[in-house]
Amino acid sequence: MSGRKSGLERSRSVVVIAGEDRNDRESLKILLEEQQPGLRGGIVQIRDPVRLHKATGANLSKRVRTIVNKAQGVAEKQGEGTRVACLYVHEDLDGVDGNVYLETRQRVEQEIRRQLGCGHYVLAVAEMEAWMLLFPDALSAVVKAWKVPAKYRGKDTGRFQDPKRILMREVSGTKGRRYTESDAPEVFRAVIDGGYHRSPLGSNRSWSHFYQDVELCGRQHLHG
Ligand SMILES: [Zn+2]
């Protein structure tokens, strides 16, 4: 062993996650830890509301500033001089994949990077539940009776209008336990534990973008 320390250990820094609610943040944390094992313990969350996807101009700048300030404040609480290595901000678009998704993602991410120098805007289409539909086996691993109907398998899940409703009404719900939002971290844990994230069934650009973000982050922000 060389004993070489990671960038995080060298400079005392943390990765900060902001998101719409606790389930979203926990889910993101599970996925991040798998992709960047060096981050374990180096991730902190902030509970500020995230309402960026419809914001523009000065309004967007102000809302991003609030999140960036809070992220820097929470880093400082980890010990004097601790800096924000990177910031992940999750939000659901609540709309399907298309130009609005691409434009919104770019607009908000540019503002985050303008203010912080790094950062990722994890905008899910239409919402994070669409990611779960890429992993029918993980859903069945959480609750055996949960089954993704054939018509939703192998599809672009970013085009589904209401993935949460699909999970609640069609994947679960006919008998036994019904999917609720608080199940999200358990589902993503099952995705990771089963190794399903390596071979999604179908596609979702917001899922792919998230993984590209994490990869770029590892190269440029955390160990750059
Ligand atoms: Zn990053």
Residue 174: per-residue pLDDT: 73
- Identify which of 58, 14, 3, 25 has the alpha carbon closest to the alpha carbon of residue 184: 25
> 17: which strand partners?
45, 88
Q: Read off the pLDDT of residues 105-134 as tens digits, 9 standing for 90 and up.
A: 999 999 999 999 999 999 999 999 999 999
Cα(79) to ligand 1 centroid in Å equals 21
Percent with pLDDT over 70 in the chain: 94
Cα(177) to ligand 1 centroid in Å equals 37
Cα(169) to ligand 1 centroid in Å equals 36
Residue 3: per-residue pLDDT: 44
Looking from the CA of 11 toward its CB, the CA atoms found within 13 Å total 15
Positions of the chain with pLDDT under 70: 1-11, 41, 224
Residue 37: per-residue pLDDT: 80
- Identify which of 193, 49, 182 has the alpha carbon closest to the alpha carbon of residue 135: 193
Q: Read off the pLDDT of residues 194-210 as tens digits, 9 standing for 90 and up.
A: 999 999 999 999 999 99
Alpha-carbon span 187 to 163, nearest angstrom: 14
- For the chain, what are the domain ranges? 11-125+204-222, 129-198
- Residues within 5 Å of ion ligand 1 by Cβ? 86, 118, 217, 221
Residue 1: per-residue pLDDT: 40
pTM: 0.92
Alpha-carbon span 50 to 194, nearest angstrom: 31
- Domain 11-125+204-222, CATH among 3.40.50.2300, 3.40.50.1000, 3.40.50.1980, 3.40.50.300: 3.40.50.2300
